Amino acid sequence: MSAGVELDNVTMEFGSFRAVDNVSVNIQPGEFFSFLGPSGCGKTTILRMISGFIQPTKGLVKIGGKDMQGARPNQRPTALIFQNLALFPLMPVWENIAFGLEVRGVDKAKRRARAEELLRLVDLPDAADKRVSQLSGGQKQRVAIARALAVEPSVMLLDEPLSALDLKLRQHMRAELRAIQKRTQVTFIYITHDQGEALAMSDRVGVMSHGKLQQVAVPQDIYNNPANGFVASFVGENNILSGDITGEEGGLVSFATPSGTFSARLGPGVSKGAKARLFLRPEHARLSTEAGKENSVPVEVTDVAFEGNFISVHSVDAKGQTYISEARNDGSAVIPGRGDKRHIVFEGQHAVLLTGDISAKDVDE
């Protein structure tokens, strides 16, 4: 039933603009795969190429091993869930869901039965005869999913379908989507700019920037072992320091920055002499009253945010470099005050040197 999707060196150009640049990825049957990236990174273009609304300039799209070149959207085993859902406003809920069957010539009684069955699947058993405008945001979401499932697609394509919902509903729908995917075993390809969604739901995540696929990996690898500076900075928070690689010692290298020389590990494809930056996650930056033996910087606390389950502290060192550190709130932690003198201390294992651009998300989000 479910089919894999293979993108083979796919490129899409609009005039001189290259929206998708030589992307290759092999999505397995039954997998929940997310394309994650900022707006304009080309992820929606990839989705539209898979669904057949546009044809790639170069490269092949294969679904279930079959080359899809020339096949129009209505000839592909895919179903797309649109960002705005695109429910048909003039049809009642059940006709929306059964539309894919109607155009395939299924008779009315069968369509109705199938629609009701799907409404039960998405937990909306009484909505069949309602108008679309009578539904809440979350209910519309479910109807859109049911409508897509009705045509028994091998691949479901989801274009940021949760972006219009409020935070609570969004988190609820994440679990729901995941559950439906597991139940139906259909391949899900999910587009989002929200790292939380991608990491929480997906089997694998592909991070995109400027039309290029930066990294494809399971969620924990995306977070723990980012392939480059863009992935590290787009997914999660970081302390970022610029400097030069100066020496090597026991698997780690030393990295000289204006704030001091630190030991760190080399990221993938980074070698001595490369223009790299040091990335350190806030949860690995410990705020200490005493200086450590190595990888330690004296700082002054500038801001403290008590978030409940953790405490986030902003600080700055003598050179003006800012740091953010997070500590779990175990109930006994002493919360520092603004202006307190502390030390940022971290393990060289947790600091990684990466090349490449940094995401601008901290600026515009």
Partner 1 sequence: MRKSNFLFHLYMVLFLIYMILPLVVMGGAAFNDSRFPSIYPWVGWTDRWFIELWKDTRMWVAFRNTILVALAVVAISIPIGTAAAILINSIAGSTRTVLYSLMVAPILTPGAVIGISTLLFWNTLNVPAGLHLSVLGQVSFIAAFVMLLVLARLQSFDRGLEEAALDLGASHAQVLRRILLPHLYPAIGAGAAIGFFQSIENFNVTLFTRGTYDTLTVYVFSKVRTGITPTINALALILIAVTLFCAIAYEVRRRAVARRG
- Reported as type and span, the H/E element at residue 50 is helix 43-51
- Listed residue (285, 274, 291) closest to 240, CA to CA: 285
Q: For partner 1, which is the closer residue by CB, 148 or 345?
A: 148
For partner 1, the closer of residues 93 and 216 by Cβ is: 93
Q: What angle do CA 209, 50, 114 make, to 5 degrees?
A: 130
Cβ at position 240, least distance to partner 1 in Å: 39
Alpha-carbon distances, residue 84 vs 141, 143, 144, 151, 164 (angstroms): 9, 12, 10, 20, 8
Q: Which helix (H) or strand (E) holds 116?
A: helix 108-121
Nearer to partner 1, 100 or 260 (CB): 100
Rounded Cα distance between 221 and 203, Å, is 11
Query: Nearer to partner 1 by C-beta: 7 or 50?
Result: 50
Q: Which is nearer to partner 1, 73 or 298 (CB)?
A: 73
Q: Least separation, in Å, of the C-beta of 106 and partner 1?
A: 11
Q: How far is CA 149 from the centre of its chain?
A: 23
Please report, for residues 2, 13, 34, the alpha-carbon distance to residue 202 in angstroms, rounded to integers and kept in the order given: 16, 28, 6
What minimum distance in Å lies between the beta carbon of 76 and partner 1? 8
- Specify the 3-state DSSP secondary structure of 51: helix
User: Closest separation between CB of residue 237 and partner 1, Å?
Assistant: 35
Helix (H) or strand (E) holding 216: strand 212-217
Backbone angles phi, psi at 198, to 5 degrees: -60, -45
Task: Give min distance, CB of 124 to partner 1, in A.
Answer: 19
Nearer to partner 1, 86 or 218 (CB): 86
As measured in angstroms, the least distance from the Cβ of 71 to partner 1 is: 12
| Closest to partner 1 by CB, 79 or 345 | 79
Q: Which residues contact 315 (CB under 8 A, 6 or more apart)?
A: 287, 299, 300, 301, 302, 322, 323, 324, 325, 342, 344
Strand, coil or helix: 343: strand
The residue ranges that bind partner 1 (CB under 8 A) are 51-53, 72-74, 78-80, 82, 84, 86-90, 99-100, 102-104, 147-148, 150-151
Give me the least distance between CB of 147 and partner 1, in Å please. 7
